[in-house]
């Protein structure tokens, strides 16, 4: 995310991945995730900082991570928009022929979030 490589970020997802973010409906499948997230990447520079990795669990074919993060967006005029100052996420992965892919990503925050789109 931080280097603005949208296609690289999208390649981390399974084709049937589900993204669940606060205050919006779940996005199901890579094309729906693309349709919502690509404009965000085009409009903003994204700064994502992982604050603490709380859990990492892996088995043969599946895994999960739980962490806290801070998300800031920078618009074309250089204005910083605090997205999620206290984000929390649980991400589930599945081993696929081309590597580990995100199958579910569920994030939330304790602070009311602004709309970025």
| 109 pLDDT above the threshold of 60 | yes
Find all residues with CB under 8 Å of 69, minimum gap 6, and list them: 48, 49, 50, 51, 84, 87, 88, 89
Rounded mean pLDDT of the chain?
92
Q: Which secondary-structure segment (H or E) carries 31?
A: helix 30-43
* Strand pairing category for 13-20 and 99-109: parallel
Residue range 1-54, pLDDT digits in tens = 899 999 999 999 999 999 999 888 999 999 999 999 999 999 999 999 999 999
* 72/95 Cα distance (integer angstroms): 30
Note the pLDDT of residue 22: 84
Instruction: For residue 101, give the nearest of 90, 92, 93, 111 by alpha carbon.
Output: 93
**Can you read off the two tokens belonging to residue 28?**
């199901």
């Amino acid at each position: 995310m931080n280097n603005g490589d949208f296609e690289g970020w999208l390649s981390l997802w399974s084709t049937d991945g589900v993204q669940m973010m606060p205050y919006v409906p779940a996005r199901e499948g890579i094309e729906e995730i693309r349709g919502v997230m690509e404009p965000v990447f085009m409009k903003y520079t994204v700064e994502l900082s992982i604050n603490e990795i709380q859990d990492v669990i892996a088995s043969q074919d599946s895994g999960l991570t739980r962490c806290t993060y801070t998300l800031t967006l920078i618009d074309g005029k250089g204005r910083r928009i605090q997205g999620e100052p206290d984000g929390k996420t649980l991400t589930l992965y599945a081993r696929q022929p081309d590597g580990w892919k995100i199958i579910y990503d569920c994030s939330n925050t304790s602070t009311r979030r602004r709309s970025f789109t």
